[in-house]
Structure 1
């Protein structure tokens, strides 16, 4: 099946603890008369992460932050086209519940919180059950509640040879500016609570649109700059240690040569065995990013998942 004919969609297994037991949210669709996991098709220009949080909000009235990726479902639609659906976990906070805007409508007739055991029997479609089982595996491991460290390589910058000033002042190229704008909406899907950046202009400019969109200031961290790394003065361990202890989702924008050390320090701080999948997360193109998921309750249990995203621009 060629990618041109596929229909892409995204969604999430929304979860919360009720009376000490894990519950997930299912939707009863009006027209189809079925029971599914919330999801929907990608709108033009959207990233998959944007689609997931938008569709959850539209179908359930809930605002969520994306958690651990749960896999991809592929199946044929009645038209014969392949549908490819990406899923994440999504914890639903008390605040989100209190501010839910859901009303029964022409698309969704009802919402229902059920246990995982009951959800297995309620869900209409086998691909949904497979995604539910992936989530159930996280529950069994006790690692459902997570935070994300979003590691961003700055956008495409002007070539060093064409820039006459100090390297730290080297700006983004036109493509890098476009990448920065695209990253703002995409990274927001994980609801970061802090933005940290190397002081280099190309890094700060990369996260400035995200800062404007979220009203969070960019906090400069010389310890993750390329200059500090090249001089042997990088302070990556301290920076990462604080982020792991804080247990809050955060963006860290740095440089290609520095990212492998950042990944290494995250691995060491979480007792994660160093392997190729960890190293691969640092192999980013300009404007690309990796999302490293860590348990909120037991950071020493290792990195729970890593997802890597190439630049879309």
Structure 2
């Protein structure tokens, strides 16, 4: 990120009404315009976290992020660039019913319209470009997606400073802070299932997420570093099970194992192994890559991969 740019995040929020696709537009009070829900990143936030928060604040609807649909850039006074990241995000029937939106001093109204009508109503060309990116996904038949997330454990005590077994190395104080910091960004993608290496540093990394979700992680040696090094790992089994489940999940593992995890995700979905797969596995501690797959046909290949990292 640039120090001079202003960063924001939002979403193309969609739902099916009687089988017909509708997208959500907001009518802003102050600017008297029609736009997509979005807002500025708060200090310490990651972009995905911002997108979910802003959608809820502006529309009252809690969403989980789907596929990224582009980045808009435009200039603000005085000569500062605004960079806005967008995702597709489904508004479920339950989320609609739970919404407490009422017109206020910021948002005069929200409106569900067809993609065709949205093109004509949006006030800004940059928003129309994002909508067109979303429309192409719809045309490609990948509206319903689910994420598999490869997470590298947070910073652990170094081997040189640890006398016990490698698998028992705990997180540092910074590592513990970042384990808490990534909870909201992971939840932004709708994660409900957690699979983790049995190493202590991985278990500590997902502990705050377990607590927030009220769910217990599936602990396995099949994606541990020890098993990877001695040849007893079974990454294919773990990844294959998660692909077949078609449910949002996070897999917490280690730097040396992550390339195998991403490669197996590509193989399991019939995706050509390109440099982007290798890049997505080269994660710093506490960083994660989100692999988006089609719910209806996960074997059709990876739709997109995005990487997120807390400020270290």
TM over 0.5: yes
Cα distance in structure 2, aligned partners of 1:136 and 1:6:
28
1:246 aligns with 2:252: no
1:74 aligns with 2:73: yes
Other-structure match for 1:58: 57
Cα distance in structure 2, aligned partners of 1:246 and 1:275:
25
Deviation at 1:236, TM superposition (A): 1.1
Give secondary structure in 1 for the equivalent of 2:9.
Answer: strand
Deviation at 1:36, TM superposition (A): 0.2
How high is the TM-score relative to the length of structure 2? 0.97
The answer (yes or no) to whether the contact 1:158–1:171 under 8 Å persists in 2 is yes
Other-structure match for 2:254: 255
Cα distance in structure 2, aligned partners of 1:103 and 1:144:
28
The answer (yes or no) to whether the contact 1:10–1:39 under 8 Å persists in 2 is yes
Other-structure match for 2:298: 299
How high is the TM-score relative to the length of structure 1? 0.97
Cα distance in structure 2, aligned partners of 1:202 and 1:275:
30
Cα distance in structure 2, aligned partners of 1:284 and 1:310:
8
Other-structure match for 2:150: 151
Please list every run of 5 or more consecutive structure 1 residues that lacks an aligned counterpart in the other structure: none
Cα distance in structure 1, aligned partners of 2:27 and 2:19:
25
Other-structure match for 1:174: 173
Q: Write out aligned runs for 1:1-313 (5 A).
A: 3-313=2-312
Q: Which digits, 9 at most, give the CA deviation of each residue in 1:11-68, with x for residues without a partner?
A: 0000111222221100111111100000011112211111110110011110000111
Q: Which digits, 9 at most, give the CA deviation of each residue in 1:261-313, with x for residues without a partner?
A: 11111111111111101111100011111001011111011001100123312
Cα distance in structure 2, aligned partners of 1:268 and 1:82:
40
Q: Which digits, 9 at most, give the CA deviation of each residue in 1:216-250, with x for residues without a partner?
A: 21210211111111121111111111111111101
Cα distance in structure 1, aligned partners of 2:308 and 2:151:
10
Cα distance in structure 1, aligned partners of 2:221 and 2:138:
38
The answer (yes or no) to whether the contact 2:46–2:310 under 8 Å persists in 1 is no
The answer (yes or no) to whether the contact 1:286–1:311 under 8 Å persists in 2 is no
Cα distance in structure 2, aligned partners of 1:311 and 1:289:
9
Please list every run of 5 or more consecutive structure 2 residues that lacks an aligned counterpart in the other structure: none
Cα distance in structure 1, aligned partners of 2:70 and 2:293:
17
Q: How many residues align?
A: 312
Cα distance in structure 2, aligned partners of 1:311 and 1:66:
18
The answer (yes or no) to whether the contact 2:157–2:170 under 8 Å persists in 1 is yes
Cα distance in structure 1, aligned partners of 2:257 and 2:8:
34
Cα distance in structure 2, aligned partners of 1:242 and 1:95:
28
Cα distance in structure 2, aligned partners of 1:307 and 1:112:
30
Cα distance in structure 1, aligned partners of 2:274 and 2:87:
24
Cα distance in structure 2, aligned partners of 1:43 and 1:179:
17
Cα distance in structure 2, aligned partners of 1:175 and 1:99:
36
* CA-atom RMSD in angstroms: 1.2
